[in-house]
Amino acid sequence: MINKDNLNFLKSKPEDKDFHSSRIMFCIKDGRVKVAPPNVTDSHIEWFKKEGWTTEKNTEDFLKQNVRGFYLPDQNKLYCYRVLVFILTIKYYQKR
């Protein structure tokens, strides 16, 4: 069960660093595509907070209302979603 009152589980963990720095993160906000700086190791919610787009009170609504995602250049794959939690079910660290 997801604890919607505490979204800290969506923040980056040390084991996420390689994956996060390998992808290009984006968000569609106010009808415009916003792209995170290269090699960012933040999660989406950390990036949104740094940009001033979210607060403790509006993060859940922002995640549900705005399309976000990432591009994996080494795999040429684009993931887009508009949900509270997106879980990538493939193993990124597998040998390709």
Consecutive 10-residue averages of pLDDT for the chain (96 residues): 53 71 91 92 90 88 89 90 60 45
pLDDT, residue 19, reads: 72
pTM higher than 0.85:
no
The pLDDT, as a whole number, for residue 17 is 78
Query: At 16, which amino acid appears?
Result: D
Structural domain boundaries of the chain? 9-81
List, in order, residues 6 or more apart from 10 with CB less than 8 Å away.
Answer: 43, 44, 45, 85
Q: Which residue has the tokens 């980056």?
A: 12
What is the number of residues in the chain? 96
